[in-house]
Structure 1
Amino acid sequence: MIPLQRVPAPHRTQTLLQRWTTRVQNAGATTTAARAEWKKASAPKRHVKALLESMAHGAVRCMYCDDSRGTDIDHFQPLASAPLRAFVWENHLIACAWCNSNDKRERYPLAPNGTCLLIDPTVDDPADHLILRFTSCLYEGLTSKGRASIDVFGLNRPDLLDGRTRAFTTACLVIEGWHQRHLEGDPSAKEKAHALLESPFVDVVYSLTRLDPDIAETVLEARTLPALEAWRSVCGTTPTP
């Protein structure tokens, strides 16, 4: 997962969403009412999906796994527990069908104090709660929120481990190639950086740039280290070109 910037919904969209929230209220403010209204809400869905796609990484990647294309509007807090948040803009994220329907579903774990135990990438920096171990490409939870998110979002499922393993190798090679071109003043260096930052599993690149230098020496090849340092100084530590 990577941090994402939520864009403000235009006034027209907010008005439309509020109108549909009123419909849920008038229908009884139940989960059944929310689902029925959401099913009919073609115009609000178009507005919300367009906004979410403008926020998503690369070719509209899933905001949870960062691999598959985001196709579904996910209610971060599910309708089962918050029917009146069905049309709240801040409660929407874009997810792939697998993450939305097979892993997360309607799970929404809470801490004893009632706060949510899932990472919202538009509110939280996932790096505060998760660390990617490059020796295994497994995510490890640094906090209770991180551990719950690994479970609910299925962040360590086998297909994602395989993808992150390949992405790690690719990222190192691309960063090395970018570095050489950068040193030569080759303008194509910028294109290489952009391509890497638009690729699937950009969370691997994000984690690389934030890797502790002492750990980097143990998991990266010697020729990758200076390239990564240059990348940090030029491209920063955020997953944006």
Structure 2
Amino acid sequence: MKTLLESMAHGAVRCMYCDDSRGTDIDHFQPLAMAPLRVFVWDNHLLACSFCNSNAKRDEFPVDPEGACLLVDPTTDDPADHLFLMLRSGEYGYHTAKGEHTIRVFGLNRPDLVMGRKDAFFLACSALRDWHRLRQEGDPEADRVAQALRDSPFVDVVHSITRLAPGLAATVVGERTIPAVGQWRSVYGG
């Protein structure tokens, strides 16, 4: 099962929750203590790092009064519907109760992740500019830079950059990076 989950993970087989550490554990999204028969349900198995699985989430599974799960489910939910990343600070904010509970349960704003996302933001802006320049020059190394960006830890940073509203993008990433972001959107989507 772990091999199949790894084959579906992006890039360097990152944790489905924090997107930083390598996914080394199989997490039962709905804990088996709550629903033992879900051990046989494929989409209840997610690749997670040991910190998110064993130290952060453990058997937590908050639900609303109707019993609906209050965690972002990476198999069905678009995290951007519930969470937003403040690129310069590296912190997550939330749009919904699912987002709020997900940040709390997985510790998504713990200091090591915040610092990692802040660093990833500056590196991603630099790599986007480099990719754009190489692409304009017709250098095949541009493809390797793009692959490295898509496989990098904190790929959520790259996704957040490319989803910035046009009026906000220049303020967040700076004028020098705007052409690269536009080109990236046209090649890889936003």
Cα pair 2:56 2:107 within 8 Å, conserved: yes
Counterpart in the other structure of 1:160 = 113
Which one has the largest radius of gyration? 1
Identity of aligned residues (%): 64
Matched to 2:189, the amino acid is G
Counterpart in the other structure of 1:107 = 60
Partner Cα distance (1:57, 1:227) in 2: 22
1:174 has 2:105 as partner: no
1:84 has 2:37 as partner: yes
SS at match of 1:86: helix
Counterpart pick for 2:103 among 146, 150, 174: 150
Partner Cα distance (1:221, 1:116) in 2: 38
Counterpart in the other structure of 2:94 = 141
Question: Which structure 2 residue ranges, 5 or more long, are not aligned?
Answer: none
Counterpart in the other structure of 1:33 = none
Runs (4+) of structure 1 exceeding 4 A deviation are none
Q: Could you report, residue by residue, the CA deviation over 1:134-175 in whole angstroms, capped at 9, with x for unpaired residues?
A: 231110010111111111111111000010011001000000
Partner Cα distance (1:163, 1:140) in 2: 16
TM-score, scaled relative to structure 2: 0.97
| Aligned Cα root-mean-square deviation (Å) | 0.9
Counterpart in the other structure of 2:178 = 225
Counterpart in the other structure of 1:206 = 159
Q: Tell me how far 1:87 sits from its aligned partner.
A: 2.4
Aligned ranges 1:1-241 → 2 under 5 Å: 48-237=1-190
Matched to 2:173, the amino acid is L
155-164 or 80-89: which moved more?
80-89
TM-score, scaled relative to structure 1: 0.77
Partner Cα distance (1:97, 1:68) in 2: 9
Partner Cα distance (1:67, 1:74) in 2: 16
SS at match of 2:71: coil
Matched to 1:200, the amino acid is P
Partner Cα distance (1:175, 1:139) in 2: 22
Question: Which structure 1 residue ranges, 5 or more long, are not aligned?
Answer: 1-47
SS at match of 1:131: strand
Partner Cα distance (2:88, 2:136) in 1: 29
